[in-house]
Structure 1
Amino acid sequence: MRPLVDPRLIEALREQVEQIEGTKARRRRVLPFGVPAIDGTLPDGGLALNSTHEFAGGGAGTVMPAAPTLFVAGIAARTKGPVLWILEKNDIYAPALTQAGLHHNRVIYVECNSPEDVLTSAEDALRHGGLGAVILEVPKLDMTASRRLQLVAEKSGTPGLIIRKWRRLENARDFGNPTASLTKWRISPLPSAPLPVPGVGQHRWLVELMRARQGTGADWEIEACDSKGKMELVRHDSSRGYDDRYEDLPVVDPSKWRDTG
C-alpha cells in the first residue's frame, strides 16, 4: 500500500518549520547547566543561546524576585563577553551577583524610564550580537514584543534572559499568558541547607521548567549557584538530617572565643 503523503514532502515541510523556528541553529549552540537531570529535559541538552527565556519568582519571591535574579546571574556568568542588564530601577546588589559567579566588571547597567523603553533597548542590544547575554526586567510581555525579541536573538546568537518583575502579586497572573520565549522558568526559595552547627547553609531553590518548546515541563530542588555560576541537585540524607558535605566542619566552643575588638 502506497503512503498517502510522499515522505519527501513531509521532510521538506519539517525543514521549513525548523528554519522558521530557528531549531537547527539552536541545536548547534546551547549552554548546559552541568546538571544531567536538567540538561536531559531540555531540547538539545542545554539552554539555547540564540533564544529568549523567561524567569519569574514563586512563593514569597513572586514580587521580590531575588531567587530568579541570582539564577539568571548564574546563567550569564557561564557565558562569554559583557552582559547588559536593562531595567527601570537599579536595585541590584552587585556583591550578590558576584557570589553567583557574575562579576561586576562584566555587567553594564542600563536604566530606562518605562517598560517600553526596556523592551526597545533590549531589542537593540540583542541585535548588536557582541554580548554574552542581555538581561531585562519587565512586568508585562505580550506575544508581539516577545516575538520581536526572539527573532533578533535568533539572528544574533545572543541569549535574552527576561526576568518578570511585578509590583503586585495579582499582576503575576500575566506569566501564564503565551509568549514566543523558548522556555519559561519559575524559581522559588526553599529552606537553606541544614548544617551540623548553628548557621545558615547554602541557599536552595525549587526550579520549575514551566514551558519548553519541543520539550516537557519538570521541577528540581537545586543548590544555589556557586561563585562560578554552577549548581547541583539537592542531596537528601534523612539519616543525618543535614548536608553531609558540612559534617567535617570544626565545632567551636563559644566559651573559648576571644574579644579581638
Structure 2
Amino acid sequence: MPHTASNAILSELRDRIAHLEGSARRKGEVLPFGIEEIDSRLPGGGLALGALHEVAGGGADAIHGAAAALFVAGIVARTKGKVLWCLTRPDLFAPALAQAGLHPDRVIYVEAGREEDVLASFEEGLRFGGLGAVVAEIVRLSMPTSRRLQLAAEGSGTLGMALRRWRRPTEAADFGMPTAATTRWRISVRPSEPLPVPGIGRARWLAELIRARAGEAAEFEIGACDAEGRVSLSPLSADRPDQAGRRFAAG
C-alpha cells in the first residue's frame, strides 16, 4: 500500500475514534448556565448534552425571534467544537451572534429551500457526533420527528437546539403541541436595564422554562448574553425573590 494512502486511512481512523470518544464523554453531561436559580431547575444542574431542546420567541414578531436566536447562540457558544446552523432564510446576522459569544469561524451554515431539508440536515448533524452543537430554524416539530432528533442526539452526545421561527402569527400555536424535547424555552423581550446616565442598558429577556423533563417549570428575568455567551440574572429579578420560583403549566 502506498505510504500516502496508508496515512490517509490512519488519519480517517483517528478522526472516527476522536468522534466516538467525544460522544462517549458528553453522554450524561450537562451545560450549566452558571446561575444557581436557573441550574437548580434543570436535572443534573444544566442543559443536557446529547439531547434536544426547543426555544421560541415570546411573540410571533422579529424582535422576539431575534432574542430567541441570541439566547440559542449564547448557549451553543459555550460548547466545544464547530456549530452547525441549519436554516431556510438567509437573514441571520453574524455580527450579532458574535456579540453573544458565537464567532463566525465556529459556525457552519446549511441553507436549504425546504423545511424538510433543514430537518434532514439537523438529524444528520446530530448523528455525526463530531460537532459542539447543531441548531435548526424550523416552524413545525412533530412528536415523531422530535423523537428521531432526540435519539440522534442521545446516540452522539451532541447538543441539539430547535429554534422555532414563525412566518405567520397563526403558526405560533404549534409551539403548544407536545414534543420529545428535553426542555422547552420561550424568550420575550423586556425593557433594557436602566443606566445612571442617558443611554441604552444591557438588553433583558424573560426566559420561560415551559417544560423540563424530570424538572420544574419556572421563569427568569435575565440579562442578554455577553461576549462569552453567558446570561445574568436581572437585578430586577434579584429584588423579587419569588421571580425564579414562579411556576406555570408546562406546555
Pick the TM interval, shorter chain. Answer: 0.7 to 0.9
Q: Deviations over 1:45-87 (max 9, x none)?
A: 0000100000000036478500110000000110000000000
What residue is the counterpart of 1:148 in the other structure?
148
In the TM superposition, what are the counterparts of 1:5-16 in structure 2 within 5 Å?
none
Please list every run of at least 4 consecutive aligned residues from structure 1 whose deviation after the TM superposition is greater than 2 angstroms: 25-28, 59-64, 236-239
Query: Equivalent residue for 2:99?
Result: 99
1:15-50: CA deviation from partner (whole Å, max 9, x where unpaired): xxxxxxxxxx98830000001000000011000010
CA apart distance, 1:90: 1.6
Q: Secondary structure of the equivalent of 1:65?
A: helix
Note if contact 1:50-1:156 (Cα within 8 Å) is conserved in structure 2: yes
One-letter amino acid of the structure 2 residue matched with residue 223 of structure 1: G
Give the length in aligned residue pairs. Answer: 215
Contact 1:29 1:48 in 2 (8 A): yes
1:67 equivalenced with 2:67 (yes/no): yes
Larger radius of gyration: 1
Q: Alpha carbons of 1:26 and 1:102: their partners in 2 closer, same or farther (altered >3 Å)?
A: closer
Residue number in structure 1 paired with 2:122: 122
On the 8 A contact 1:26/1:48 being kept in 2, the answer is: no
Whole-angstrom CA distance in 2 between matches of 1:86 and 1:76: 13
Distance 1:62 1:110 in 2: 21
Give the equivalent residue in structure 1 for 2:231.
231
**Are the counterparts in 2 of residues 62 and 172 from structure 1 also a CA contact under 8 Å?**
no
Q: So what's the TM-score if we normalise by structure 1?
A: 0.79
3-state SS, counterpart of residue 89 of structure 1: coil
Classify the secondary structure of the residue corresponding to 2:200.
coil
TM-score under structure 2 normalisation? 0.82
**Percent of aligned pairs sharing the same letter:** 59
List alignment gaps of at least 5 residues for structure 2: 1-24, 240-251
Aligned CA-pair RMSD:
1.9
What SS does structure 1 have at the residue aligned with 2:236? Answer: coil
| One-letter amino acid matched to 1:105 | D
CA contact (8 A) 2:85 2:136 kept: yes
Residue 165 of structure 2 corresponds to residue 165 of structure 1: yes
